[in-house]
Structure 1
Amino acid sequence: MKKIFLIFCLFLVSICVFFAFQMKNRISAESKNAETVLLDVPSGTPAIALGNILKKAGIWDDGLAYKVWCKLNPPSIHKGWYEIPPHQTLDEIAAILESGKTAVRKVNIPEGRASWEIPAYLKKAFPNLDEKRWNDLVQDPKFARSLGVDANSLEGYLLPDTYPFPIDADEETIIKQMVAANLRLRDKLENEPGPSKWKRLGSWHKVLTLASVVEEETGIPEERPLIAGVFHNRLDIDMPLGADPTVRFIFKNLTGPIYKSQLNSDSPYNTRKFKGLMPGPISNPGLKAIEATLHPAETKALYFVAKDDGSMTHFFSSTLADHNKYKNVAAKNRGE
């Protein structure tokens, strides 16, 4: 009897070892998905319920192996969207879900775009973006103040950059992320050592306002400090900025001719007609334009005109007579 009992025990141990070995192999197997799967993990998902989510997504279909693994390694899951690459083990899948590093869509927002131009870039990643809701939020003073912006609009506060937006981001989420980046830049630049034009302008809002004009007047980074220097000189002597882009902003006339009727507009954004800064930015300036505004070149120039020779650069001058000469040169360059 003892021999029979011993043989029976050895048989049971062998079976347990066999099934344990089998289960270990099943647990350490790789996921079934042949391509990266975007997985939505709702808030409050228990670890056991995650097994059903993985099964429906075609990632893991061995329910028993998952349950055993879950008992041995209870995961701490964070809600969000996650990208699950192919051929992942349960340990690797858990590491992704526990990391909290949710899936993102990267979008590049170029410098100098007005707020109403930005949705065109966002829609490549977020085709369902609601442009009306976007524009309503940008123009909502109450929403602006809720984000820490003391202005009637968020124009100028949508910092251009390449952003990793959450994959399920809506208009409000995207705006909040861009404005937060702008305000972080404000805090960084405000505490910079050394002289700047911050005090001369008086506020971050005015820095962004002038920087938006600097941004629009030249696409050549090396010219921005000179352009900024001209505008600071004009402000110092109470001379109108005379910037055509401010007129284009009024009429959303971003290209083509500017008409005399537009130049005579009574809008406070018309710097061809009124002195000083506009009420707010005309676009969303990038870091380089903002830095040029705070640290302009030392220059006596009061005027500039595009050379129109294909270089995209400008003639700068300190007198109206020289400015008019350069305008004639530019006209010849255009073949007039």
Structure 2
Amino acid sequence: MKKKVLIFLLFILVLFLSIFKVYSYKTDVKKNYKVTVNLKVGTNLNNIFKQIGIGDSIFFKVFLKYEKNSGKNIKAGFYELDGEYSYKNILQMMEEGRVKYTILTIPEGYSIKEIGKLLQERKIGSEEGLKKSLGKIKDFPYFTPNGNFEGYLYPETYYLSVDTNEDEIVKAMLGQFLKKFPSEKYLNKKIFYEKLIMASIIEREAQLKEEKALMSSVFNNRLKKDMKLGSDATVNYIYDYTKRRMYYKDLKIDSPYNTYMYKGLPPAPISNPDYDSVIAAINPAVTDYLFFVVTSNGKHTFTKTYKEHLEVQKKSK
């Protein structure tokens, strides 16, 4: 009797070791794959694994459940499998989030129209699609008068899925803005919006980071003295930034964005500024400057009087 029990136990052990050996082989063996899958948040993992061609394998199912926590550590993204992979390789790739990206860089100071043009050039969207996506946003915590999100599309380099669309791009840009400027930190949304408008002007006027706070002081000093801002950038915004140089005839256009014609800030941002421009708008330098003129290599000369301003202009010509 004892001998039979021993034989049975030995059989079970051999069987277990055999199954384990086959299981280890199946999870380690590499097969050739050439497939792309887009794993979005909320997507059924089983469907994704079936697209890859591994979803029906009992060995994969056991491996996924008992060794990979049923896929709970898998990250969303666009995955490309082109070559030889084992089950372990595939799941490790997905857990590490080694997705195939498209890289999109939004330059500082671009307007929504310019961003739309950039998306069209990259063949990943359009201005119309961008505005439609922005129109879907209902819970944004800052001011967006008449659904205008100009100023909030944060300039940054984004890594997006290769089949990205305007919805994903908008979500990324607005999300990055809120990371830089958490709404709970800026409680007075009206004042913040005014600073954002100022920042958008500074972004288009300043070429050097170290001059942004000085430029902010100029515009703030002008507002305090009830002077017109007189910014070429605000006028060029009316022309969709198509003017390489502003002439006096260009300054005669009647628009609330024409800060040569109307006092105060324009009604909305004229670009999408970076962090430094917004901080400069919030914390301007303390100066008596009222004027500035570009002199060389993007550098500006700041002056206190119009007479000084004219003298600098003559020298810089």
Please give the range of the TM-score, normalised by the shorter of the 2 chains.
0.7 to 0.9
How many residue pairs align between the two structures? 310
Distance 1:135 1:318, change over 3 A: same
Distance 1:72 1:234, change over 3 A: closer
Q: Distance in 2 between matches of 1:318 and 1:109?
A: 35
Q: SS at the partner of 1:214? A: helix
Query: 1:184 Cα shift?
Result: 3.8
Counterparts of residues 47-196 of structure 1 (less than 5 Å): 47=46, 50-55=48-53, 63=57, 65-67=59-61, 69=63, 73=67, 75-76=70-71, 80-83=76-79, 87-97=84-94, 104-122=101-119, 127-138=123-134, 140=135, 143=136, 146-150=139-143, 151-152=145-146, 153-187=148-182, 190=185
Q: Distance in 2 between matches of 1:326 and 1:306?
A: 9
Distance 1:178 1:32, change over 3 A: same
Counterparts of residues 265-304 of structure 1 (less than 5 Å): 265-304=253-292
Q: Distance in 2 between matches of 1:300 and 1:212?
A: 22
Q: Is 2:25 the counterpart of 1:28?
A: no
Query: 1:90 Cα shift?
Result: 1.9
Q: SS at the partner of 2:311? A: helix
Cα RMSD of the aligned pairs, angstroms, is: 3.7
Query: 1:230 Cα shift?
Result: 0.6
Query: 1:327 Cα shift?
Result: 0.8
CA contact (8 A) 1:249 1:282 kept: yes
Q: Which moved more, 1:144-153 or 1:207-216?
A: 144-153
Q: Is 2:58 the counterpart of 1:45?
A: no
Distance 1:40 1:177, change over 3 A: closer
Amino acid at match of 2:44: T
Identity %: 28
The C-alpha deviation readout for 1:213-235, integer Å capped at 9, x for no partner, is: 11111211111111111111000
**Under a length normalisation based on structure 2, what TM-score does the superposition of the two structures give?**
0.80
Aligned with 1:324 (options 301, 307, 310): 310
Structure 1: which 5+ runs fail to align? 192-197, 332-336
The equivalent of 1:334 in structure 2 is none
Q: Distance in 2 between matches of 1:44 and 1:327?
A: 62
The C-alpha deviation readout for 1:70-109, integer Å capped at 9, x for no partner, is: 5755723668434366554324433554678866544221
Query: 1:262 Cα shift?
Result: 2.6
CA contact (8 A) 1:41 1:81 kept: yes
Aligned with 1:236 (options 193, 213, 224): 224
Q: Distance in 2 between matches of 1:21 and 1:213?
A: 68
Amino acid at match of 2:303: S
Q: Distance in 1 between matches of 2:176 and 2:14?
A: 62
Q: Which moved more, 1:297-306 or 1:148-157?
A: 148-157
CA contact (8 A) 1:123 1:129 kept: yes
Q: SS at the partner of 1:75? A: helix
